[in-house]
Amino acid sequence: MQTPSLQKISALQKQPSNIRNICILAHVDHGKTTLADALVASNGIISQRMAGKLRYMDSREDEQVRGITMKSSAISLYFGKDNKEYLINLIDSPGHVDFSSEVSTAVRLCDGAVVVVDVVEGVCPQTHAVLRQAWLENIKPILVLNKIDRLIIELKMEPMEAYLHLQQILEQVNLVTSELFTSDAMEKTSNQINGTENENSSTETVSHDWTSTLEDTEDRNIYFTPDQGNVIFASAYDGWGFTINHFAEQYSNRLGLNKQVLQKTLWGDYYLNTKTKRIMKGAQSKAKKPLFVQFVLENIWSIYDAVYMRKDKEMIEKIVKSLGLTISARDARHNDFRVKLQSITSQWMPVSKAVLNVVVEMLPSPLQLCEEKCKSEDGVPVIVFVSKMFPLEKKMLPKNRQRPLTDEEIQQRRERARLRHAEKMAAQSKSEPAITPTDGEKSEIKNTTDMIGTISLESSRDVNIREEKKDDEVDLEFVAFARVYSGTIKKGQKLYVLGPKHNPSKRNILDTSKLDTEHHKTVAELDSDEHITSFTVSDLYLFMGREVEIMEEIPAGNILGIGGLEDHILNSATISSTPACTAFTDLYFDASPIVRVALETKHTGDMQNLVRGLKLLNQADPCVEVLVQETGEHVIIAAGEVHLQRCVDDLKERYGKVDLNVSDPIVPFRETIITRPKTDMVNEAIMNQNLPAKHIQLKKFEDDEEVIEAGLVEVYTANKKCYLKIRALPLPEKVTCILDENQHNIKILDQLTNEVILDQSVESQVNEINVDTLEALKELKEKLDKAFKESGKNWRNAVNEIWAFGPRRVGPNILLNRISDYKRPNVWSSIERESSCKDNVRDFDNSIVSGFEIATLAGPLCEEPMRGVCYIIEKWEYVDQNGYIIQNSTIGENESSRLNTFKSDSLSKEGDDKKNGCNNEQDVNISSAAKQEVDNSERTRLDSCESNEELEISDNVGKKKQEVYGPFSGQLISCVKDGCRKAFQTQQQRLMAAMYKCDIQATAEVLGKLYAVIGKRNGRIQEGDMREGTQMFNIIAYVPVIESFGFAEDIRKKTSGLARPQLVFSHWEVVDVDPFWVPTTEEEYLHFGEKADCANRALVYMNTVRTRKGLKVDKKIVEHAEKQRTLTKNK
């Protein structure tokens, strides 16, 4: 068909009831882009023959080379049905897990989704993920069971087998939907119950019947059932697809049966009684062919059999004739019978028609979203949501594209060329000398030629410079990928850009005059509490796959591109004509960035380009993290190997245009301690559990630090005036998980506590925070309390003893206060409306927290952050010169004045510190390697803070001491830090590795090889079940991230491409070996040899990290320093 004109599309955009905004979702390689090709071909944008081969929506070169989609892209298509015209805004999304953020951006803009499932592979992890995303965003899905041709050609199934197989796949998909539905319904009901329980808290507890909940809730329409018409059977590659409807119509005419009855019975356990011509139930029990097999599958099978398997030319002709098709001479002559097959099937039951029919029938139009909102008349406020910013090459933009010349222009050009030619000829005839020139003339000619030479040289240099300039310029323009929800966006309109944190209920926000004067502000210039800028709409685009078209205005309900927003939006935003509009909530991303690499330019002069490139990359990809470490290194963190490679390629070729050196991936580790294991390395029970670990004896601690028992140390400050008892214990796993999940809440809690310290009354604080936040914080406390109580009596009151979280005040480690005579307020006091117990806080309280923060930020194994460690301060005493403890009440006058000089009103100082950024660890984004520097800078900062205090010191003795040992708060920080580290070292230390969850589908033949690859990389198989009704195994394994590089490639090679893993970050896992372990028992010597260095995985990891950070590595380079001998000479 003819490609629809821009005018037609523009007219259709104004009829929201005829618009469908849809995206195609699926697991990687299930055929989304191939299906999109078929739909695009139906509009004549690409030829029918190329559909499925071109992969038109994969416009990037690396997408074509790798054969996977990496970004979501949109196209507007026209579809006509029953004299009605529709506009389908289609988004193709990537299926690879590394790019799942692109799926989020696509899903948010749509009202419906086409979920594609490869019938051979069945439901895969990303199928789960996309169904969940569609559910969360409340968009309606339809199902395409794709690649049915593979059942015929590859698996050689009979129609009956294929029917049973399809049934199973459908059940698998519906199982996922039902899980989503059930958990959602349960959650809703549980919320309701909680609500009513809260209301009638006095009445006795109501027992609730969950089954009735599920029965009550309407669930019929959420499942995929062919008789409802929301399932399409297809082979996108061969271009065919159908719904039950298609065959119901055909056979109702042919067999004289009721169409509605056929529609209900074509799928299911029904058969046709040929004698009575009636449709009967119970095909399976009576061993009859179900209608679907008899009327649908057998037809398809016979075409494949005749055309592709048997290549029966006569039969082909017959089929073509009986179906009333025409086959082009070119296809008829083609040697490849697949082409012939595709030519027949794509005409017989075009997949595009089948899919688009269901899309317009079953999926909602923007009007159904909310009729009120989808108005586009003048005066209705404009509301647009931008889900991502994506880069387009400038030459692709219509304003820069070369357009075909008009006849007049061609005429003018021809005229100009003719004139030029005439001038040239005239000049030539003039320069032909009739007489030989004199000497003077000769020199003149020479001068002129020289001049011409220089001019041409200069001009060529000029061109070069211009070209260089061009090269240097970024030839990309960011276009916002957006949807209009209300009003009509027009060129020249002045609109506001609202960041995700914009809150219209805040005062001053609606003062538009102020906003207008700050019109020039860009997002980078905004203060931290400002989330609003304004701009004038300049370019509006319509997405057409690889190209964009310019539009003058776009009404509500459409997907569009907006130019000129580069300086106003980082990743996503809401655009509105009024600042009173509430911003859309942030997008939900599945993947978390985990693989980090450091980047540097090959030529130092290119640094600027790299920085600019990183900025663009950060804007273009919401899933990548870009940061500059304290060491000055530029680091990017990506979701996985493929994502990382794409980011680096983009930096090199598009955003930065620089040659880069990319470091080996830096994989994070964590350090932790565990309870003493009960068995040794050869699985023998350890007899004497009370023996201290061997390495404790090996470690030479300084005299003034005493190891009392494993995990408990006593440490003194440098001036010996203060001592502490610090205990390190492993945190219960449950508590650590809660801390991990609630980082955001802990951050809020910390901010609240800080503000309380900064002398704001608790009351006013609590009043200001949102009720939901307060509830969340209380819930966090309850959860922690429960988890602690379940972990033994030692932890019974732990939740009320929490002093701080670390590192960076939010991490998964805890500092507890168990000092018997020190009752400081715990972290919860700010939410519990307790009056501030400011007076009870001892001086230097904050130094202890700082010491703890530094210790947890970089552990002793390889300076990686700690995880799941609990430090308990059991004693904190001041000691006088004779070594006696000074009780707070009994401090002598001398001592007290001296200590006072140390403190010098440390509370107010703490306040100042916070204002000045002193001691405030949480803002410092520090790499573990840079920890030492931080440590030093911490001290210098403290020094500078302390210098004011020193002026106040009157006591000479005190002053002298202080000069020798430095400020007391600094001493205390380093004392606590050292104490924590030592307490840690006296426990069973372990490394924790980041783990990938790895999902693989594989056939039985390659299973052995697959297990070998996983085993070699220290992976662990979690599940390995055979999928019901298929030959495929579903394997779930965990592989350490550090071992995962090249893993996918390795698996692909070893299994000849039959298994494809998908890796997603899952959790932190303890590496089950002590990095300092040496064999001690006879059995261990026997098993591991004397050195046992080959088996210690933790040691290898630890040394890798230490080497990377330039830390000391205990390694003997020469083991036996003897002269080498040749054995045969026997000397």
x/- mask, Mg ion, residues 602-641, rule CB under 5 A, reads ----------------------------------------
- With CB under 6 A as the contact rule, the residue among 94, 122, 159, 811 that binds ligand GTP is 94
Backbone angles phi, psi at 69, to 5 degrees: -85, 140
One-letter amino acid for residue 204 of the chain? E
- CB nearer to Mg ion: give 63 or 650: 63
Asked if 34 interacts with ligand GTP (CB under 6 A), we say: yes
Instruction: Tell me how far, at minimum, the Cβ of 149 lies from ligand GTP, in Å.
Output: 5
Report which DSSP code applies to 309.
Answer: I
Stretch that binds ligand GTP, among 145-153, 432-440, 608-616, 1073-1081 (CB under 6 A): 145-153
Token pair for 130: 């996309």
Asked if 73 interacts with ligand GTP (CB under 6 A), we say: no
Instruction: Tell me how far, at minimum, the Cβ of 266 lies from ligand GTP, in Å.
Output: 22
d(CA 185, CA 692): 53
Asked if 146 interacts with ligand GTP (CB under 6 A), we say: yes
The DSSP bridge partners found for residue 886 are: 878
d(CA 909, CA 912): 5
Site for ligand GTP in 850-909 (CB under 6 A): none
Asked if 32 interacts with Mg ion (CB under 5 A), we say: yes
Which of 313, 348, 332, 328 lies closest to 238 in space, CA to CA?
348
Residue 79 contacts which entry, ligand GTP, Mg ion, none (Cβ below 5-8 A, type-dependent)? none
Sequential DSSP letters for 584-596 = PPPPP------EE
In this structure, the strands spanning 112-118 and 140-146 are parallel
Stretch that binds ligand GTP, among 67-75, 291-299, 626-634, 1056-1064 (CB under 6 A): 67-75
The DSSP bridge partners found for residue 80 are: 85
Q: Give the SS3 label for residue 988.
A: strand
Site for ligand GTP in 186-245 (CB under 6 A): 235-237
CB closest to ligand GTP, residue no: 95
Place of tokens 């440590």: 935
- CB nearer to Mg ion: give 33 or 765: 33
Residue 294 contacts which entry, Mg ion, ligand GTP, none (Cβ below 5-8 A, type-dependent)? none
d(CA 205, CA 1047): 54
Asked if 71 interacts with ligand GTP (CB under 6 A), we say: no
Instruction: Tell me how far, at minimum, the Cβ of 644 lies from ligand GTP, in Å.
Output: 17
Instruction: Tell me how far, at minimum, the Cβ of 30 lies from ligand GTP, in Å.
Output: 5
Where residue 1089 falls (left for φ over 0; alpha for ψ -120 to 50; beta otherwise) is left
Asked if 146 interacts with Mg ion (CB under 5 A), we say: no
Report which DSSP code applies to 396.
Answer: G
Do residues 593 and 99 touch, judged by C-beta distance below 8 A? no
Asked if 95 interacts with ligand GTP (CB under 6 A), we say: yes
d(CA 586, CA 565): 18
Asked if 125 interacts with ligand GTP (CB under 6 A), we say: no
Stretch that binds ligand GTP, among 89-97, 181-189, 358-366, 466-474 (CB under 6 A): 89-97
Q: Give the SS3 label for residue 477.
A: strand
- With CB under 6 A as the contact rule, the residue among 41, 51, 68, 1039 that binds ligand GTP is 68
Residue 147 contacts which entry, Mg ion, ligand GTP, none (Cβ below 5-8 A, type-dependent)? ligand GTP
Do residues 485 and 384 touch, judged by C-beta distance below 8 A? yes
How many residues sit in the footprint of Mg ion (CB under 5 A)?
3
Instruction: Tell me how far, at minimum, the Cβ of 319 lies from ligand GTP, in Å.
Output: 20
- CB nearer to ligand GTP: give 62 or 633: 62
For helices 733-741 and 771-789, what crossing angle results, to 10°?
170
- CB nearer to ligand GTP: give 30 or 990: 30
Place of tokens 């700010």: 830
Instruction: Tell me how far, at minimum, the Cβ of 95 lies from ligand GTP, in Å.
Output: 3
Residue 235 contacts which entry, ligand GTP, Mg ion, none (Cβ below 5-8 A, type-dependent)? ligand GTP
Do residues 73 and 60 touch, judged by C-beta distance below 8 A? no
Residue 150 contacts which entry, Mg ion, ligand GTP, none (Cβ below 5-8 A, type-dependent)? ligand GTP
- CB nearer to ligand GTP: give 1052 or 1087: 1052
- CB nearer to Mg ion: give 69 or 576: 69
- CB nearer to ligand GTP: give 28 or 41: 28
- With CB under 6 A as the contact rule, the residue among 49, 71, 96, 1009 that binds ligand GTP is 96
Stretch that binds ligand GTP, among 21-29, 370-378, 726-734, 781-789 (CB under 6 A): 21-29
Instruction: Tell me how far, at minimum, the Cβ of 99 lies from ligand GTP, in Å.
Output: 8
Instruction: Tell me how far, at minimum, the Cβ of 37 lies from ligand GTP, in Å.
Output: 7
Instruction: Tell me how far, at minimum, the Cβ of 69 lies from Mg ion, in Å.
Output: 3
Instruction: Tell me how far, at minimum, the Cβ of 26 lies from ligand GTP, in Å.
Output: 5
Q: Give the SS3 label for residue 824.
A: coil
- CB nearer to Mg ion: give 33 or 89: 33
Residue 28 contacts which entry, Mg ion, ligand GTP, none (Cβ below 5-8 A, type-dependent)? ligand GTP
The DSSP bridge partners found for residue 535 are: 495
Stretch that binds Mg ion, among 33-41, 478-486, 623-631, 944-952 (CB under 5 A): 33-41
- CB nearer to ligand GTP: give 144 or 556: 144
d(CA 974, CA 942): 12
Which of 970, 978, 1057, 1070 lies closest to 1020 in space, CA to CA?
1070
- Sheet-wide strand order for 634-638: 625-628, 634-638, 595-601, 660-662
Which of 317, 314, 316, 299 lies closest to 254 in space, CA to CA?
299
Alpha-carbon 1085 to chain mean position: 46
Instruction: Tell me how far, at minimum, the Cβ of 64 lies from ligand GTP, in Å.
Output: 10
First to last CA, the chain: 91
Evaluated on CA atoms 969, 971, 972, 973, the torsion sign reads positive
d(CA 665, CA 659): 18
Residue 986 contacts which entry, ligand GTP, Mg ion, none (Cβ below 5-8 A, type-dependent)? none
- CB nearer to Mg ion: give 24 or 170: 24
Do residues 563 and 477 touch, judged by C-beta distance below 8 A? yes
x/- mask, Mg ion, residues 68-97, rule CB under 5 A, reads -x----------------------------
Count CA atoms within 13 Å of residue 1111 on its CB side: 19
Instruction: Tell me how far, at minimum, the Cβ of 995 lies from ligand GTP, in Å.
Output: 24
How many residues sit in the footprint of ligand GTP (CB under 6 A)?
22
Rg (CA), the chain: 36
Which of 766, 772, 789, 776 lies closest to 741 in space, CA to CA?
776
- CB nearer to ligand GTP: give 58 or 843: 58
Q: Give the SS3 label for residue 64.
A: helix
Asked if 1009 interacts with ligand GTP (CB under 6 A), we say: no
- Burial class of 66 by CB neighbour count within 10 A (0 to 12, 13 to 18, 19+): middle
Backbone angles phi, psi at 923, to 5 degrees: -80, -15
Stretch that binds ligand GTP, among 64-72, 433-441, 520-528, 1048-1056 (CB under 6 A): 64-72
80 contacts: CB under 8 Å, gap ≥ 6: 86
- With CB under 6 A as the contact rule, the residue among 147, 596, 781, 961 that binds ligand GTP is 147
Do residues 674 and 871 touch, judged by C-beta distance below 8 A? no
- CB nearer to Mg ion: give 33 or 927: 33
Using CB under 5 A, list all residues that contact Mg ion: 32-33, 69
Using CB under 6 A, list all residues that contact ligand GTP: 26, 28-34, 55, 67-69, 94-96, 146-147, 149-150, 235-237
